[in-house]
Chains A and B, each alone.
Chain A
Amino acid sequence: MKDQGTYQPYSYYQLMETSLRELLVEKGIVTDDAVNAEVTAMRGRQPERGSKAVARAWVDDAFRQRLLKNGTAACEELGLEIPALKLVVVENTPQVHNAIVCTLCSCYPRVLLGIPPDWYKSRNYRSRMVREPRAVLAEFGLKIADAVQIRVHDSTADMRYMVLPMRPKGTEDWDEARLAAIVSRDSMIGVAIPKVG
């Protein structure tokens, strides 16, 4: 899958970006300041936001229940403004492993996890994740026992999904910040699990 972002110094598409932006500014539809402010805001949306919600759910069971009931409202409690996002949080348990894909495009909870990685948008992931999830997870180094049910969520419409991974053993006395640090982006997509050390 060639989706690596290796570009010529000024490609046709970059030319289109500059041209379109300048036209929209001339027409008073957007301003350069607004575009730059949006870029800055985007840089602030990193997977750490999702990790924060996961770590809170691990230490606060009432919050965990609210997060599962209405992910959007629960994240707002943490000061994560995600107004337009309809967040469905799916919980991993000893019996169930969840993983997220969008076969039709690349829907992703961007305000919580940032811009999706290239592999999430690749033909290989989008095609195979719904049909052979166990093989795909193994390619990520994740072997799921047959006794564990795999639930693959194809994000086709208005909901966005985040996996609530299981809290690893050996973290019983950890504080929230330390817990958050082991919650990787990939574990919230469901292609990894948090590891201690």
Chain B
Amino acid sequence: MKPQFATDYPALDAKFDKGDRVRVRKTAPLGHIRTPFYIRGHVGEIERYCGAFPNPEELAQRRDGLPAQPLYRVRFKQKEVWPDYKGPASDVLEIEIFQHWLEKA
């Protein structure tokens, strides 16, 4: 799948396509993490492939974060994320998530 933003880092291959159902890994390691706690364990759909970027978890520790990690925008249904969500079933949340936090759902 073509990324929205091309980068020239040595990068891992993108494993997911637009529309794929993915689950965010449910785990809570230490370190600097850009996957919000509230979304871990939830299932969403790939909205787009943003491009490959150095892994922030590594950059924060002064390493180069390479190979770059594919980054996706994942769309989640609000009602699935928050069972008590107040609003129509069509409302969604979109979050950027790196590939190593995602698995096929």
Interface hits, A150-177 → B, CB 8 Å: 150-159
Q: A88-B4, A157-B34 are in contact. Are A131 and B82 (CB under 8 A)?
A: yes
Number of interface residues of A (CB under 8 A): 26
Rounded to whole Å, the gap between the CB of A118 and the closest CB of chain B is 22
Which single member of A86, A135, A155, A157 contacts B86 (CB below 8 Å)? A135
Contact with A along B36-59 (1 / 0, CB 8 A): 101100000000001101001000
Which single member of B4, B36, B56, B86 contacts A134 (CB below 8 Å)? B86
Name the B residues within 8 Å of A156 (CB-CB).
34-36, 95-97
Name the B residues within 8 Å of A152 (CB-CB).
91-94
Q: Given known contacts A88-B4, A135-B86, A149-B90, what 13 new A-B pairs fall within 8 Å (CB)?
A: A69-B4, A86-B5, A103-B36, A133-B91, A134-B91, A147-B88, A151-B91, A153-B95, A154-B39, A156-B95, A157-B50, A158-B71, A158-B96
Partner-A contacts on B (CB < 8 A) = 4-5, 34-36, 38-39, 50-51, 53, 56, 71, 73, 78, 82, 85-88, 90-98
The 30 listed contacts between A and B (C-beta, < 8 Å) are A86-B4, A86-B51, A103-B36, A130-B38, A131-B38, A131-B82, A132-B85, A132-B87, A133-B91, A134-B91, A146-B88, A149-B90, A149-B91, A150-B91, A151-B93, A151-B94, A152-B91, A152-B92, A154-B93, A154-B94, A154-B96, A156-B97, A157-B34, A157-B50, A157-B53, A157-B96, A157-B98, A158-B51, A158-B96, A159-B73
